[in-house]
Amino acid sequence: MTRSDIRYNYVIGDVQGCFEALKALLKEISFDPDQDFIWFAGDLVARGENSIGALRFVKKLVDRGVAATVLGNHDLTLLACARGLKELKEKDKTRDVIDAIDSDDLIDWLRKQPLCLFPNEQTILTHAGIPCLWSAAQTAELAKEIEAVIAHDDFTVVDAFLSEMYGKEPTLWSDDLEGNARLRCITNYLTRMRLTNADGQLEFSFKDSLDDPMPDGFKPWFEFDSKAAKTHQLIFGHWAALQGRTINPQIQNVDGGCVWGHQLIAYRLEDKTSFKVDNPMM
């Protein structure tokens, strides 16, 4: 499929293994793989009822050339667990992926997916958003640093990063950061960020709604003047409490909290329309 063949582009929020909801959403938007294209906002797997089914399905769409995905924090956690570098939590229902007969193929495919995509010239997609201090171009370049490591042919390189990926430090970006500290900081901005301060420093404890009290000096990252939003519409998932909120004309959330019993969202880029389905498994 070429860009001229595409009728509609849809960005779909965090699937989190909610395969039945994903199938219902594609039916709701009358998805036609011969004409439409799906952009997934990451967190394909984790706490829904069928992570293996969702992952296999999305992989088929991507391999067919009718979809693309960025990686989310739960996808990265699956990679670390599959490599034996992190203990699998029971609430992360991804044991079926690790034990599957095609596990090696699925994990190898997943680790080669990007952390940043441009659905069109005016739009940039990451899982958690973009900090105020990065431009769209800088975001893409920094994402490539992570992508090069996790897709590396030498698994000692991959494992060295995945084993050091978890942690809150450093909480503030600097161009002078090096090694795993640099990679961890980039990863945290792109896949874990919710609150920052005016300097772009990360705060990790807050996961609630915009109406709840926040730590002093910190606000949602999108409330600060954004370099990237001056040139692109920013689309992100990750923050279920936002319920797919339109922050402003340049910033759009697509996480409807499906895995928590709420909705799965598809946001159509051509007319900025959102389509939603309830989670049929709840």
Tell me the CB-side half-sphere exposure of residue 44, using CA atoms within 13 A. Answer: 30
Reported confidence tier of residue 2, pLDDT bands at 50, 70, 90: low
Work out the average pLDDT over 177-190.
97
Contact 157/149 with Cβ under 8 angstroms?
yes
Which residues neighbour 223 within 8 Å (Cβ) at sequence distance 6 or greater? none
All structural domains of the chain, each given as residue ranges with its CATH number in brackets, are 3-278 (3.60.21.10)
Full-model pTM: 0.97
Query: Do 164 and 109 contact (CB within 8 A), yes or no?
Result: no
Average pLDDT, the chain: 96
Averaged pLDDT, 104-112: 98
- The terminus-to-terminus CA distance of the chain in angstroms comes to 36
Q: How confident is the model at residue 209 (pLDDT cuts 50, 70, 90)?
A: confident
HSE of 264, CA atoms in CB hemisphere, 13 A: 31
Cα-Cα-Cα-Cα dihedral sign, residues 93, 95, 101, 102 = positive
Contact 41, 254 (CB under 8 A): yes
pLDDT (0 to 100) of residue 282? 78
Residue-wise pLDDT for 46-88, tens only, equals: 999 999 999 999 999 999 999 999 999 999 999 999 999 999 9
- Range of weakest confidence among 81-90, 190-199, 249-258: 81-90
- pLDDT score at 4: 66
179: left (phi over 0), alpha (psi -120 to 50) or beta: left
Q: Does residue 114 surpass a pLDDT of 70?
A: yes
Residues 149-176 have pLDDT tens digits of 999 999 999 999 999 999 999 999 999 9
Residue 5: pLDDT band (50, 70, 90) is: confident
Question: Is 11:119 a contact under the CB 8 Å cutoff?
Answer: yes
